[in-house]
Amino acid sequence: MGALLDLPPEAGAWQVEIQSDRFRLHRGQANDLTTFPSTGFSCPEDALSGLVVTLKLVATTKAYLDNPRRPVGPCAITLESGRASIHIPVITDGARLGIRYGEVPILLRRVESLLSGTYGEVVREDGHTSGR
């Protein structure tokens, strides 16, 4: 078992356990985190802003900084009926969800772009933005 990360109230019900090569993500008392074996997880759409806070704090931990890894696979987010399904390589053990540190940058960028309304836009070198 790793160390639990002390999160601010802005993180909402998210909880994080820091491990040497990954972190475990939980949703506290809410019990509304659904995991999909090896392919991702689902949470309430309104929990995404807290996930951003959580991911930014994970990126400041010694374990994260000591493990500069590349992402294993792609990351995509779909929204349906108030839930966000996040498709990203994960390690599942029943209801527990592990995310490798290499996945943090892409996951953070995708969630932030979804919240800012720019998810799926492509910015070319000439500054032109187009939908994707």
| DSSP result, 40-70 | EEEEEGGGHHHHHHHHHHHTTSHHHHT----
Structure tokens at 69: 């890894």
Residue type, 45: E
In 3D space, the residue among 50, 113, 47 whose CA is nearest the CA of residue 84 turns out to be: 47
More confident site: 36 or 126: 36
Residue 100: the pLDDT is 93
Give the tens place of pLDDT for each residue, 93-111. Answer: 766 799 999 999 999 999 9
Residue 130 has what pLDDT?
47
Taking alpha carbons only, the member of 12, 21, 112 closest to residue 61 is: 21
Cα three-residue angle 108-112-113, rounded to 5 degrees? 115
Task: With cut-offs at 50, 70 and 90, classify the pLDDT of residue 50.
Answer: very high
- When pLDDT is cut at 50, 70 and 90, the band that residue 67 belongs to is confident
The per-residue pLDDT for 123 is: 52
For 122, phi then psi, to 5°, come to -115, 130
